[in-house]
C-alpha cells in the first residue's frame, strides 16, 4: 500500500507587460513553453509529443540537462483562446507517479498588460514534498514567462 495522497490548492498571479494574445500564444507554442516552462533555471524541458487542443495531449521530459528524468503528461480539458486553459498534469520519475493536478490558467486583459492567474489543485502521491517542489517550479516558470514576454515586447 502506497503512502496517502496529500492535497492542496496553489494559486499564482503574475502581470505580463504584453497584450493578451501574446501571452496566450506563449502557452500555446510548444517551443516557447519549453523555454519559459522549465521548473528551475538550470533545467531543460523538451516535448516528445505536443497537441495543444481540447482533448489533446503533451508529453514532456524535464530535469537536469544531462538527465531530464522527470516525465510529464498534460491533457487539455478546456481551451478558450485568450481567456482560459484547463488541463490535467501528471508527473512521474522512473515510472513512479509523483503527482497529478488540475491546472487552470486564466488571462485577463488590463490595458496593454495581461493578468495571469494559475490555480493548481494538486494531489501529491509520494509525500507532501512534491507540493513544495511544485510551488517552487511554478513560481520559476511563471517568472520566466514574465521575463520572456517582456523581452519580446521590448524587442519590437
pLDDT tens-place string over residues 90-146: 999 999 999 999 999 999 998 889 999 999 999 999 889 999 999 999 999 999 999
C-alpha cell recorded at residue 21: 494574445
Q: Which three cell numbers stand for residue 50?
A: 505536443
Alpha-carbon distance 154 to 55, whole Å? 35
Measured on CA atoms in the order 29, 27, 76, 98, is the torsion positive or negative? positive
Widest Cα–Cα separation across the chain:
56
Residue 1, pLDDT score: 53
Q: How many Å from the N-terminal Cα to the C-terminal Cα in the chain?
A: 56
List alpha helices for 12-128, DSSP H. Answer: 20-28, 30-36
Whether residue 88 has pLDDT greater than 70: yes
Q: What percent of the chain has pLDDT over 90?
A: 79
Q: Please state the rounded mean pLDDT for residues 33-49.
A: 89
Of the ranges 43-47, 70-74, 87-91, which one carries the lowest mean pLDDT score?
A: 43-47
pLDDT at 41 over 90: no
Q: What is the pLDDT of residue 154?
A: 77
Among the ranges given (20-24, 37-41, 52-56, 67-71), the one the predictor scored with the smallest mean pLDDT: 37-41
* C-alpha pair distances (Å), 79 with each of 17, 37, 55, 69: 22, 18, 10, 29
Cβ contacts of residue 13 below 8 Å, gap of 6+? 115, 116, 117, 118
Amino acid at each position: 500500500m502506497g503512502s496517502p495522497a496529500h492535497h492542496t490548492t496553489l494559486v499564482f498571479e503574475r502581470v505580463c507587460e504584453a497584450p493578451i494574445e501574446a501571452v496566450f500564444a506563449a502557452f500555446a507554442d510548444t517551443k516557447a513553453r519549453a523555454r519559459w516552462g522549465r521548473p528551475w533555471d538550470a533545467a531543460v524541458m523538451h516535448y516528445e509529443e505536443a497537441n495543444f487542443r481540447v482533448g489533446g495531449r503533451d508529453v514532456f521530459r524535464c530535469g537536469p540537462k544531462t538527465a531530464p528524468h522527470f516525465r510529464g503528461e498534460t491533457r487539455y480539458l478546456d481551451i478558450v483562446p485568450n481567456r482560459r486553459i484547463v488541463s490535467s498534469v501528471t508527473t512521474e520519475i522512473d515510472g513512479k507517479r509523483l503527482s497529478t493536478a488540475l491546472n487552470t490558467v486564466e488571462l485577463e486583459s488590463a490595458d496593454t498588460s495581461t493578468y495571469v492567474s494559475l490555480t493548481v489543485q494538486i494531489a501529491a502521491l509520494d509525500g507532501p514534498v512534491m507540493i513544495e517542489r511544485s510551488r517552487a517550479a511554478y513560481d520559476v516558470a511563471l517568472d520566466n514567462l514574465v521575463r520572456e514576454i517582456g523581452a519580446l515586447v521590448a524587442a519590437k
